[in-house]
Amino acid sequence: MKVYEGKSIFKGIAIGKIFFYQKGTQQVKRVKINDVEAEKKRYEAANAKAIEQLEALHAKAVKEVGEANAAVFEVHMMMLEDDDYVSSIRNMIETQQVNAEFAIASTGDNFSEMFSQMDDEYFKARAADVKDISDRLIAVLSQRESVGDMGEEPVIVVADDLAPSETVQMDKEKLLAFVTRYGSANSHTAILARTMNIPALIGVEIEEEWNGHMAIVDGKNAKLYIDPDEETLEKLRTEQQKDIEARELLSLLKGKEDVTADGKHIKLYANIAGVADVANVLANDAAGIGLFRSEFLYLEAQDYPDEETQFLAYKRVAENMAGRKVVVRTLDIGADKQVDYFNLDKEENPAMGYRAIRICLDRPKIFKTQLRALIRASAYGEIAIMYPMIISVEEVRKIKEIVEEVKTELTKQGIAYGSFEQGIMIETPAAVVMSDELAKEVDFFSIGTNDLTQYTLAMDRQNMKLDSMYDPHHPAILRMIQKTIENGHKEGCWVGICGELGADTTLTETFLKMGVDELSVSPSFVLPIRKIIRETSVQE
């Protein structure tokens, strides 16, 4: 038996044989061509075919992992049609009279190298995307499949790396787990693994000779066992069975109240990115939606989504939730969420730059369009509106003025709307310090622990080099959460947590004892958190 360590992406246990996955790559040769126009047509046909494949992958991913996680394939489609990328390929075919495969491979290498050298982590991540779309085009031109046959039996897939398209195309009934040499915890493929509940390890020194060998992926302890002995096999089979039984027991909690052992009621809500995610919320029995990331309506569009498009999306979610609260965060783009048609300038430090509410207040027309849609949707369910990246009382008052303008306009036009709460994200140290004053202006606070942690610790949460130092459990973060809860309650605000820490089961009891009113988590975490809530006595 040999034991290898890696970094865990999803903490499950998988036992089975290894399938060593090799990409269907081949040497791309430079070939001089005589008919330039014919070669450009070959490229254009391949491009159209690649887009067709990505559309099919997107549809498949939406069903399996939801709209938010499927968005990567829309990004790939946009990249295939990017003017700079297309022009480079066409120009190379024309001026150098080379075959389309060589022009695509060269352009892909050039763009990938360019992105990887950038300081911005978002653009660094695009290096893998441009490589993926280039490989897809070359695969279409050479008429070969991009994903190999995994066989008939369920397997643990081992590979140097996996592109999102490869992960989605794999038969989930046959995919027990995956192990890769490369990749990051924030990559699209890692996000897909977590969404699909597939045990996964990255950063493992893999070997091709493992193909066909029995293995165990222990996501809990970030270990890979090759040819495990009987004792290890039996021990981890027992652990695996405990996990299965625990999930079955959790299903019995559906329909139960979110109330502590000593009677304190907690709002246990779910985070979503789009209309399609509501099914997951209902399946996991969340009491409401604590974070509807409305920016995905913008990220998935080719141009600014109009009022009617947004209204129909918000209305549908409100109706589907049938009277349960739906907290919609207003547009939060910038930093790692870039939208081409916003024409945002490149910034040295985008996480601290022109983003979220700063864009909305600077471009009131865009903001008012969204507010009109949201306020109209309040007539169809319990909508609450939440504003991100707040740092001052003045910002909140300005927002409330715009909201009143919108309400006045709708009333004059005879357009119905209901009552709605207004709240803010607490995700900057400034908002924590000012929370006593901010609480007088709004109905609720929702603590965004992801940004609050990076701003408080002065650490980029997407910088892999800082992983070992990045500590969301830092006492300073917990003190800030406590201070926010206390100041909110003094002024009658309910206070929730919608960041990643909300789903951290090691802190659930701590948050309950701090007095938090609401926790909003990924749908799959609702039942595990409910179990802890019902077993916790706040007084003790």
pLDDT per position as a tens digit, 470-492: 888 999 999 999 999 999 999 99
Which amino acid is present at 9?
Answer: I
pLDDT of residue 184: 65
* Mean pLDDT value across residues 363-386: 96
Q: What is residue 237's three-state secondary structure?
A: helix
Can you give the pTM of this predicted structure? 0.63
For a pLDDT cut of 90, what percent of the chain falls above it? Answer: 45
Contacting residues for 202 by C-beta, under 8 A, at least 6 apart: 6, 7, 9, 179, 180, 181, 182, 183, 184, 185, 190
d(CA 292, CA 277): 10
Per-residue pLDDT for 164 more than 70?
A: no
**Greatest Cα pair distance in the chain:** 82
Characterise 327 by phi-psi region: left (phi > 0), alpha (psi -120 to 50), beta (else).
Answer: beta
What is the predicted pLDDT for the residue at 256? 87
In the annotation, is 498 catalytic?
Answer: yes
The class (CATH top level) of 2-21+148-249 is alpha beta
Q: Give 190-249 pLDDT, tens digit per residue.
A: 666 766 678 888 888 888 889 889 999 998 888 999 999 999 989 989 888 887 777 777
Which of 58, 188, 360, 493 is flagged as catalytic? 188
Can you spell out the DSSP letters for 38-107?
A: HHHHHHHHHHHHHHHHHHHHHHHHHHHHHHHHHHHHHHHHHHHT-HHHHHHHHHHHHHH-B-HHHHHHHH
269-290 as b/e, with b when 16 or more CB fall inside 10 Å?
bbbbbbbebbebbeebbbbbbb
- Do 284 and 526 meet the contact criterion of CB atoms below 8 Å apart? yes
Mean residue pLDDT across the chain: 86
Q: pLDDT at residue 144 above 80? A: no
Terminal Cα distance for the chain, rounded: 46
| 405-427 per-residue burial string, b: 16 or more CB within 10 A, e: under 16 | ebbeebeeeeeebeebbbbbbbb
pLDDT of residue 376: 97
Q: Which of 58, 76, 493, 498 is catalytic?
A: 498
Tokens describing residue 265:
């009621």
| Confidence (pLDDT) at 253 | 83
pLDDT in tens, 47-67: 999 999 888 888 877 776 666
| 204 within 8 A of 179, measured Cβ to Cβ | yes
Residue 493 designated active-site: no
Q: What is the pLDDT of residues 459-472, one digit of tens each?
A: 876 676 777 788 88
Please give the average per-residue pLDDT across 313-328, as a whole number: 92
Assigned fold of 36-141: Enzyme I; Chain A, domain 2 (1.10.274)
Domain topology for 261-535: TIM Barrel (3.20.20)
Determine the pLDDT at residue 227.
92
| Domain spans of the chain, in order of start | 2-21+148-249, 36-141, 261-535
